[in-house]
């Protein structure tokens, strides 16, 4: 019994309930006894989630997790849905499931949920976005799938995942980048800040050229932003904002530009008045800015 408790993780063995039941729908009597409870189920009875947004599992990190499980057990149960009396499908926790197999476990603690495929997809994507260390492109793909396959708006999705609408929009925009740049993001060769700056460059050849410069010379995010601005607005001197406005206002312009994810120029006139210029590239960009400024 002591070995079993260790394999399951501290305190989990005491909470286990017998999962052997024919209940397959949340509408059936007794379903509440299954949904939300922790059960010990056979690892071999679980199959991967076809909707899993994560497509890459680092072998070294997986082995480290397996070593931890051998020492401490599975601290956080996985989540599955029942597809038959003795068969389950992963909703979330594929790393823990894979690592448990590597650790030689025959069973694993799991939350059992009863849901249709669309409900399972939404649960899987939301839980992975919130709990798993997905790369930026995987997060973007998850957001886009929630919109496309669960028929929800960006506003509804931002509430589900607890993120600002502008944050969701920034991630989705990464999917417009060329595949080679998306691969670079997934390989952690450039940061989210670099990627956001590259998205603002409309010409794909120019995007790829700047991307190669980032890799070869280690350009900072600020340098990429300046390069992107020069490519997008060649007639705008990079020192324009600094020469026309008090230095104390420079940081405000940067903050507004970051908040709105676009170019913001502050202009000061001789009488002390001035202008705040917010640039947009197309009607979609304008709609996005309006939604931020008029929530």
Residues catalogued as catalytic: 94
Which residues have CB under 8 Å from 108's CB, separation 6+?
Answer: 8, 40, 41, 43, 46, 74, 77, 78, 96, 97, 100
Which residues have CB under 8 Å from 261's CB, separation 6+?
Answer: 166, 169, 170, 196
Closest by alpha carbon to 272, among 251, 253, 239, 249?
249
Closest by alpha carbon to 123, among 160, 170, 74?
160
How buried is 50 (Cβ within 10 angstroms: 0-12 exposed, 13-18 middle, 19+ buried)?
A: exposed
Contact predicate 147/168, CB 8 Å? no
Buried/exposed code over 185-195 (b: 16+ C-beta within 10 A; e: otherwise): beeeebeeebb
Q: What CA–CA distance (Å, rounded) separates 196 from 205? A: 16
The token duo for 3 is 């070995």
For residue 114, how many other CB atoms are within 10 A of its CB? 17
């Amino acid at each position: 019994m002591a070995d079993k408790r260790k394999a399951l993780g501290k305190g989990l063995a005491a909470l286990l309930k017998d999962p052997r039941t024919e209940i397959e729908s949340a509408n059936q009597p007794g379903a509440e006894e299954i949904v939300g409870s922790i059960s010990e189920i056979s690892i071999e009875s679980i199959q991967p989630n076809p909707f899993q947004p994560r497509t890459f599992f680092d072998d070294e990190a997986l082995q480290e997790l397996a070593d931890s499980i051998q020492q401490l057990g599975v601290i956080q149960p996985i989540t599955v849905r029942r597809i038959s009396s003795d068969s389950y499908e992963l909703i979330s926790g594929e790393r823990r499931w894979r690592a448990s197999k590597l650790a030689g476990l025959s069973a694993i603690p799991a939350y059992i949920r009863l849901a249709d495929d669309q409900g399972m997809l939404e649960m899987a994507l939301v839980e992975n976005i919130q709990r798993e260390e997905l790369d930026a492109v995987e997060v973007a793909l998850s957001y886009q799938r929630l919109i496309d396959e669960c028929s929800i708006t960006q506003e509804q999705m931002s509430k589900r995942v607890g993120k600002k609408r502008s944050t969701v929009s920034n991630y989705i925009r990464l999917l417009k980048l060329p595949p080679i740049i998306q691969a670079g993001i997934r390989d952690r060769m450039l940061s989210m800040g670099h990627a956001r700056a590259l998205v603002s460059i409309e010409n794909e050849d120019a995007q790829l050229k700047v991307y190669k410069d980032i890799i070869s010379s280690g350009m900072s995010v600020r340098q990429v932003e300046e390069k992107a601005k020069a490519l997008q607005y060649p007639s705008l001197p990079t020192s324009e904002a600094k020469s026309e406005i008090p230095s104390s206002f420079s940081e405000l312009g940067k903050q507004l530009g970051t908040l709105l994810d676009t170019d913001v120029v502050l202009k000061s006139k001789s009488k002390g008045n001035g202008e705040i210029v917010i640039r947009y590239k197309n009607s979609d960009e304008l709609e996005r800015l309006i939604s931020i400024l008029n929530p």
